[in-house]
Amino acid sequence: MNEPRKLHIKSYGCQMNVYDAQRMVDTLAPEGFVETAAVDDADLVILNTCHIREKAAEKVYSELGRLREAKDEARRAGRALTVAVAGCVAQAEGEEIIRRAPVVDVVVGPQSYHHLPQLLARARQDGRALDTEFPLDDKFQHLPAPRPDTIRARGVSAFVTVQEGCDKFCTFCVVPYTRGAEVSRPVKRIVEDVRRLADNGVREITLIGQNVNAFHGEGPDGRPWPLGRLLEHLATIEGIARLRYSTSHPRDVDDSLIAAHRDLPSLMPFVHLPVQSGSDRILAAMNRKHTADDYRRVIDRFRAACSQIAFSSDFIVGFPGESEEDFAATLALIEQIGYAGAYSFKYSPRPGTPAAEMPEMVATAVMDERLARLQDLIDRQQAAFNAAMVGQTVDVLFERDARYPGQIVGRTAYLQPAHVLAPPDIIGQVLPVAVDRLERYSLIGQLAGPQQIPPRSASASPTVSTGA
C-alpha cells in the first residue's frame, strides 16, 4: 500500500459519538489511514457531530468555516484535504450541509459509517457523496474488529455499544429522528467484543446506548435478554473489573437491573438516570410517561438493592410552559434525591420535534436565571458528595500518567478522578486509596494497601488517555 494517509477525527456530544469515532478509525485503517491529532497535516478530516442542542450544530458550521481555509491552503500546497461530516447533524441536515458548507465532500449518518471507504471513493469520482440511510442490516456486522494494538493504545476503559436509537419520542428530543428506531445487538456479539477488549488489557467496560436499559438483545438461548442479565453474564469474563452502563431511562428499570446492582460487585454503584424535570405537568408535556413520584420510587428500588449507590441526572430548564412553580418542583426533587452530579441545559427547540411547535416559550433571561439556580444546587450537592470521600479509603482503577510527574490518575466507582504518587505499573489495577484531600473535583491520596491484582501481561499503554 502507498504511504499512509492521515485522518483527523473530531467528535462532539455523547459517549456514543466517541465510540463511533473509534469505529470509523477502525473502518478506515484497512484503507491505509492512520489517525493524527493535528488537523494541519491531515488528508481527511471527519467531524462527528451532535444535534442534541443548538450550539452543537452551530459549532460544526463554524468549524467547517475554518476547514474551508485549511482546504484552500492544502490545495495551494498541492495536497488534497477531504472533509466529511458524520453523526447526527449529518443525519438531520443531509444535503443542507453541502449547500451551506460546500467545503464538505462526504456526508454520512450514524447508521451508515461502515460505508465510509466507498463514500470516499465516490466523492473522489463525483466530487460529493452522501449516505444518510437507515440500512436494514446491522452496521456492526460490517465493521472490522479493533486491532489489539489499537485497543491497548486506547487505555483501560472502553465503551461498547449494546443498543442504539430510541422509540420513546420525548417531545424535545431529536434522537429518535437522527439515530432511528431502537435496536439491540445480539448478546453473542457483545460478549465477543468484551472478550477481545479484556484480552488486550481493558479492565472497565461501559455499555452504551441512547436508551441502554431498553436493551433486549437476542441471547444465546434465542430469547431476548434484559440488560441485567447481560451484565450478569459479562461480569463472568476474566479481566473485567468494572462494568457500567449509560444512559438509562427511568421507565425501563426492571427487576433484572435492580438484581444486578444487588448481586454484582463489578457493577459500579453509579447510575446516570435522567429525569429532565420534577414537575408532573412538564413531564407529561415532555412525553416522559412517568411522574416525579414514579422516578422517586425507581431511585428507592436502586437504593434498597445497593446502599452505596449514587445518581447523576440530566435536567432541562425552560421547557415551553415551565412556570416558576414547575421549576420549584424540579429543585425540590433535586433536594430530595441528592445527586453526585448532573448535566443541565436550557431548552433548545429542535426542528421537527413536537415541543418546537409548542407555544409559551420561556424567555431566555428566565432560562438563564433558572439554570444558574439549578446548577448552584447541583454544585453544592456534588461538592458535598466529593468532600465526603476525604478520610475514606476507596477503590480506584488506575488509568494513566497524570500531568504531574510521578503521579498516576484513576477513577473511583463514582468516576471521580483520583491521583496518587506511584509507579506506572499500577495502571490497569484497581487499588484502595486513602483519600487525604480534594483539589477541585479530584481526590488526592495514597495507595492504602498491597497491590491486589497482579498486572496483566497485556496491560495498557501508560501514556495514552482513555475515553471516559
Footprint on this chain of ligand SF4 (rule: CB under 6 A): 166, 168-170, 173, 175-176, 210-211, 249
Span from 342-350, 377-385, 430-438, 441-449 in contact with ligand 5AD (CB under 6 A): 342-350
**CB nearer ligand 5AD, residue 52 or residue 214:** 52
Cell of 317: 430548564
Integer CA distances (angstroms), 373 to 53, 84, 315, 317, 360, in order: 21, 40, 12, 10, 21
Task: Kindly state whether residue 114 participates in binding ligand 5AD, applying the rule CB under 6 A.
Answer: no
Binding partner of residue 180 among ligand SF4, ligand 5AD, none, CB cut-off 5 to 8 Å per kind: none
Q: Return the one option of ligand 5AD, ligand SF4, none that residue 33 interacts with (CB less than 5 to 8 A, by type).
A: none
For residue 116, the partner it binds in ligand 5AD, ligand SF4, none, with Cβ less than 5 to 8 A by kind, is none
Q: Which lies closer to ligand SF4 via its Cβ, residue 175 or residue 292?
A: 175
Pinpoint the alpha helices (H) of 250-363. 255-263, 280-285, 292-305, 324-337
Q: Is 173 in the site for ligand 5AD (CB under 6 A)?
A: yes
Q: Does 398 bind ligand 5AD (CB under 6 A)?
A: no
Region label for 32, one of left (φ > 0), alpha (ψ between -120 and 50) or beta (otherwise): left
Choosing from 199, 294, 314, 401, the residue that interacts with ligand 5AD (CB under 6 A) is 314
Instruction: Yes or no: say if 197 and 151 are a contact pair by the CB < 8 Å rule.
Output: yes
The verdict on 246 binding ligand 5AD (CB under 6 A) reads: no
Which of ligand SF4, ligand 5AD, none has residue 348 at its interface (CB below 5 to 8 Å by kind)?
A: ligand 5AD
Binds 169: which of ligand 5AD, ligand SF4, none (CB < 5-8 Å by kind): ligand SF4
Q: Give the C-alpha separation, 208 to 215, whole Å.
A: 10
Nearest to 20 by CA among 47, 56, 41, 59: 47
Candidate residues 225, 245, 347, 398; the one interacting with ligand 5AD per rule CB under 6 A: 347
Q: Among ligand 5AD, ligand SF4, none, what binds residue 210 when CB lies within 5 to 8 Å by partner kind?
A: ligand SF4
d(CA 343, CA 69): 35
187, 316, 378, 408: which one binds ligand 5AD (CB under 6 A):
316
Residue 168 or 216 with smaller CB distance to ligand SF4: 168
Residue 11 interacts with, from ligand 5AD, ligand SF4, none (CB under 5-8 Å by kind): none
- Rounded Cα distance between 358 and 170, Å, is 13
Distance from C-alpha of 204 to C-alpha of 302, rounded to nearest angstrom:
21
User: Of 123 and 170, which CB lies nearer to ligand SF4 in the complex structure?
Assistant: 170
Nearest residue (CB) to ligand 5AD, 172 versus 398 = 172
Distance in angstroms (rounded) separating the CA atoms of residues 407 and 241: 22
* 68 class by beta-carbon count within 10 Å (0-12 exposed, 13-18 middle, 19+ buried): middle
Please report how close the Cβ of residue 338 comes to ligand SF4 at its closest, in angstroms.
23
With CB under 5 to 8 Å by kind, the binding choice for 211 among ligand 5AD, ligand SF4, none is ligand SF4
The values of phi and psi at residue 159, to 5°, are -95, 145
Whose grid coordinates read 435492580?
258
Residue 89 vs 103, nearer CB to ligand 5AD? 89
Q: Please, which residues bridge with residue 303 across strands?
A: none
Least distance to ligand SF4 from the beta carbon of 274, Å? 7
Site pattern 16..55 for ligand 5AD (x: CB under 6 A): ------------------------------------xx--
Q: What element of type H or E holds 122?
A: helix 116-126
Handedness of CA 120, 86, 271, 437 (dihedral sign): positive
CB of 348 to ligand 5AD, least distance (A): 4
- Which of the choices ligand 5AD, ligand SF4, none does residue 316 contact, using the CB cut-off of 5 to 8 A by kind? ligand 5AD
**CA-CA distance, 184 to 163, in Å (whole number)?**
4
- 269 residue type, one letter: P
| 403-410: long-range pairs with CB below 8 Å, 24+ | 408/462, 409/442
* Distance of closest approach, residue 58 Cβ to ligand 5AD, in angstroms: 14
Closest CA to 397 of 374, 428, 368, 366: 428
350 binding ligand 5AD? (CB under 6 A): yes
Binding site for ligand 5AD (CB under 6 A): 52-53, 172-173, 274, 276, 314, 316, 345, 347-348, 350
